[in-house]
Amino acid sequence: MTTDITLGAVAYDPKVVTIWEGFKAWFATEGLSFDFVLYSTYERQVQGHFDGEFDVAWNSPLAWLQTRRIAEQRGRTASGFAMRDTDQDLTSVIVVREDGPRTLAELRGSVVGVGAPDSPQATLIPLLHLQENQVDPVADVELRVFDRLFGKHGDHVGGERDAARALLAGEVDAACMIDGNHLAFTAEGTLPSGTTRILAQTAKYDHCIFTALDGLDDWVLERFTALLLAQRYDDPVVRPLLELEGLKQWRPGRTEGFAQLDRAIDDLAFSGAQTVRDFIAEQAAR
């Protein structure tokens, strides 16, 4: 018996095509007729989900919250049903040069580099951390936004790497990034060992998540989820795809790890004076 299911995903990197074509072939061997639709931005993908252009979405954390809030406003239900092992218990860090500020309070009056305006890990969550520790990200510091590929929610590392390079060059006094990229930038030499240090680290949060809307056949969703969770890293066919997608194991989805970003949606500016909350309300009204 074959079952049809279509995924919506954002083409933040050329490897996305390789990943989902590989999964398409693998799912076919398991009796699942799988296809995918690629979008240039998460906002277009979220809209496509509500327009019925596909069945399930591979969402960034911001796109998940956009979907959940729009669904609530429309009297519908969104669920997060699966995620990578590497999507759980992440943190962002605020990095300074070795001779830089020693406390968050000392950042007042300085220049802070962030990633794309819609990046949860390199902008929204670390700026919320500043705000919740009495450093106003609008009034107390000057923000320098390294805006790469707006609409892709920081899935690429370009903005974070640019912020890191600016920190090393003395163009900014602090740079915000996800902890994994901080380790990668140190290992690759973008931030040579001993030249910088972590000034602050956020609380843990979760990242990308598969999302479904109500109305999808329960059996279809359960079959897709079961196959995902059954994929094994030691399977020589599956392993290259998992490595490209940056995981070793799919896990059941959980949504409690988005609380910080949820607060940031209501409290922080998005694309100029507009808040993330206002943006979602506009999307919901379409």
* Prediction pTM value: 0.90
Alpha helices per DSSP H over 169-258: 179-188, 218-230, 239-245
Query: Using CA atoms, how far apart are residues 5 and 56, in angstroms rounded to an integer?
Result: 8
Mean pLDDT over 36-45 rounds to 95
Mean pLDDT over 85-100 rounds to 97
List CB contacts of 278: < 8 A, sequence separation 6 or more.
270
Tens-digit pLDDT profile for residues 140-155: 999 998 876 666 787 6
Q: Name the pLDDT band for 270 (thresholds 50, 70, 90).
A: very low
Pick from 38, 43, 40: which is nearest to 70 by CA? 43
As given in the structure block, the two tokens for residue 221 are: 């969703």
Beta bridge partners of 275: 269
Which amino acid, one-letter code, is at 171?
A: E
Which domains are assigned to the chain? 3-87+206-257+264-284 (3.40.190.10), 92-201 (3.40.190.10)
